[in-house]
Structure 1
Amino acid sequence: MDVVDARIERILRAAGDAPSVLNTQPWQVAVTGTTLTLRADRSRRLRHNDPQGREMFISCGAFLFNARVAARRESLTAVVTVLPDPDDDLLVAEVALEPGDDPNADELELSVAIGHRVTSRVPFDDQPLLTDVLVAIQRAADAEGASLHTVQPSDPSHAEVIGLVRRAEAIAAEDMAARDEEAAWTTSWPGRDDGIPERLLGRAPSNDDAPVRRYHASRGRELFERHSTLAVLTTAGDSPREWIAAGQALEHALLVAATYFVRASFATTVLENPTTRHDLRQALSLSAFPQMLMRLGNVPTPERSPRRTLGAATT
C-alpha cells in the first residue's frame, strides 16, 4: 500500500472499534481513492429488537465519529456529508479525506482514547461521578448536536427509570422472536468476530434497582452498585439524521469519558419498546427524544469484544 492507503487502513481499523448494539457492527465501507462511503448493513440489523433501525444508525454514527477522529491523527480532515442520497436510505455518509493541519493535543487524546474505550457490564465503583468529569462528557455530546441528561441516585426520577427498565425487560422476555435474536448475538463459538461473547456479558444483577441490562445468556448473579450515574442521550428530532448524530455524540462522549477512566454500559431495552421509551421521556420531562440510556462509572479496563477483520467490513 502507498502512504495514503496505509492511513486509510488505520482510520478504518479505528472506526471499527466503535460500539454497536449487541456488537452487531452493522456497517459496510467502500473506499474509492481518498473517499469513504459508509453504508448501514441491513443484514446485521436486529429486526425484532430494532425494527426501525434506530440503533443500527446510532452504531453507524459512532463508527463515523471514530473515522473523523482517526483522520485527524493522520493529519487529514474528514469532510462529511450525512445522508447524501435521499433515495438510498442505507447510505449513511460520504467522507472525503483531505489534507489538514497536524492534530492538536485534544485531537490526539481523543484518538488514543479509541483504543481505551470499552463497554463494561460488571459492577462499577459505588459512587457518582465527579461534577467536572460529567460536565466534560456532556460538552462532548453537545458538540455533536445532542444533549446528555444525568440522573443521579438522589433524583426522584431515578427509581422510576429503573422501574421502566425492568418493565421493558419483562415485556421483551415474552417475545420469543426477540429472545432468539438476542441469543444469536450473545452466543460464542471459536473464531467468532462479532456479537458479545458470553464471558463478557457479566452476571445478572441480584438487586432489582441496578441500572443494568439483563441478558438471558448471563450466568449467575452479582450485587451491583446503587450509586452510579445514569445518563440519557437525547436529540431534538427522531429521524435517521438525528440517530446518526446521536451515534456521533455518543462516541464523542464515550471517548472523553475514557480519558477520565470512566466506562459505560447500556440499558437499551427500555428504548427498544415504543411504550416504555415514551414513558421514559415523560418520567424525565424530556422535550427531546431519548436515544441512549447508559450507566457511567469507574471500573478496571475489561476485555474488549471481538471485531470483524478490515476486509469483512469493506467492499
Structure 2
Amino acid sequence: MDVIDARIERIITASAHAPSVHNTQPWRVELEGNRMLVHADPSRQLRHSDPAGREMYISCGAFLFNVRTSARRESLTAQATILPSPHDKLHVASIRFDPALGPDMDELELSVAIDRRATSRTPFDDQPLDSDVLLEIQMAARDEGADLHLIHPSDPTRSNVLTLVRRAEALAGEDAVARGEEAAWTATTAARHDGIPQDLLGPSATDEQAPVRHFLASGGDAEFEHRSTMAVLSTPDDTPRDWIAAGEALEHLLLVATTYFVHASFATTVLENPTTRHDLRRALSLDGWPQMLMRMGYSATHPHTPRRTIEEIVAPGEPETAAE
C-alpha cells in the first residue's frame, strides 16, 4: 500500500470506529489524491439476515458521517457525493477533501466523541434520558434527513414493541442459517479484528419486558432496567440512499449522545424480519420506514469492540460490483 497522508490516515482510523451490524465493518476505501472512494464490502454482508444490504448501507453511512466529522478536526471539509455511480451499487460515496478553517467547538466536540462512543450491552441506569438531551439527539437525526421516534417508559406501545422484538428473536432462533450467521460474527476470538468478542456480548435479560437484545452466545443473566428510553430511527423512503442517510443520522445522534455520557444498544432482529418490521411500523404509526431500534441510557464507559487496521480497510484495485 502506498504511503497515506497523515491526516487522511487519522481520518480513516477515526471513521473505522463507526458502529456496524455485528461489528462486520463492511466498508472498503480507495484513495485517489485528495479523493476518497467509499465502497460497501459484500464479503462482510449478512447475506441471510440482510439480503438487500440495508444494514450494510446503514453501517457504511455511519462510517461516512465519521469521515465528514473527523475531517473537520484536520481543518478539512469532506464534500460527499452519495451513490455517484448508477452502474456500481456498492460505490457508497465519493468524497473530496478541501482545505478549510479549523473546527468550531461543536465540530471538535463531535470529533472527540468518535473515539469515546461505544455500544453498551449491559444494564443502564433505570431512568429515562433528560428531555433536553433527547431534544438534541432528535435534532441530530433530523440534520441528516431522518426522524427519531421516542418510546418513553410510560408509552403504551412499548410492550407491543418488546413483544415484536422477542417474536423476531424466537423466529431467528428457529432458523439454522440465521443462527450460523450470528455465530460467525459473535463470541469471536482475540485474534479477530472484527465481530463481537464473547465478553462484550453482555448478559441475557431475566425477563421478557427488558429492552435488550438476546444474543445466542450471551453469557449469563442479569436484571436490566425498564425505564430507559427506547427509540426508532426512520427515513422517508426505503432505498439505499435512505439507508445511507440513516447511517449518517445514527452516528450523528450517537456522537451527540456520547457528549452527554449516554450509551446505546441496538435490537436489529425485529427489523431483519420483513413481517415484524412491518408490524413495528404499524404499531408505532410511523410515516416513514424503521431503520434502527435502540435503547439509550446512562451507564459506565463500555469497552470497544475490535477494529480492522488501515491496511485491511484501504485496498487498491477495482471494487467488486453488486449483482443485478
TM-score normalised by length of structure 2: 0.96
Within 1, Cα distance between the matches of 2:4 and 2:177? 45
Deviations 1:265-301 (A, max 9, x none): 0001000000000000000000100000000000000
Instruction: Tell me, yes or no, if structure 1 residue 142 matches structure 2 residue 174.
Output: no
Query: Residue 32 of structure 2 aligns with which residue?
Result: 32
Contact 1:4 1:34 in 2 (8 A): no
Query: Residue 223 of structure 2 aligns with which residue?
Result: 223
Alignment of 1:1-315 (within 5 A): 5-315=5-315
Deviation for aligned residue 1:4: 8.0
Deviations 1:14-62 (A, max 9, x none): 1000000000000000011110000000000001111110000000000
Tell me the SS of whatever aligns to 1:149. strand
Mean alpha-carbon deviation: is it higher for 251-260 or for 188-197? Answer: 188-197
Deviations 1:72-102 (A, max 9, x none): 0001000100000011000000000011111
Deviation for aligned residue 1:3: 11
Deviation for aligned residue 1:122: 0.2
Tell me the SS of whatever aligns to 1:115. helix
Deviation for aligned residue 1:163: 0.4
Letter in 2 for 1:314: V
Contact 2:187 2:201 in 1 (8 A): no
The runs of at least 4 consecutive aligned structure 1 residues that moved more than 6 Å come to none
Aligned CA RMSD, in angstroms, stands at 1.3
Letter in 2 for 1:177: V
Within 2, Cα distance between the matches of 1:231 and 1:220? 26
Deviation for aligned residue 1:190: 3.2
Within 2, Cα distance between the matches of 1:34 and 1:15? 17
Deviations 1:173-198 (A, max 9, x none): 11100100000101322321100001
Within 1, Cα distance between the matches of 2:287 and 2:136? 23
Letter in 2 for 1:50: D
Within 2, Cα distance between the matches of 1:286 and 1:163? 18
Within 2, Cα distance between the matches of 1:88 and 1:190? 35
Within 2, Cα distance between the matches of 1:187 and 1:115? 23
Mean alpha-carbon deviation: is it higher for 187-196 or for 45-54? Answer: 187-196
Deviation for aligned residue 1:219: 1.6
Contact 2:187 2:199 in 1 (8 A): no
Letter in 1 for 2:240: P
Tell me the SS of whatever aligns to 1:89. coil
Within 2, Cα distance between the matches of 1:244 and 1:66? 13
Within 2, Cα distance between the matches of 1:261 and 1:287? 30
Letter in 1 for 2:223: L
Contact 2:190 2:197 in 1 (8 A): no
Within 1, Cα distance between the matches of 2:148 and 2:254? 11
Tell me the SS of whatever aligns to 1:145. coil
Matched residue count: 315
Q: Structure 1 unaligned segments of length 5 or more: list them.
A: none
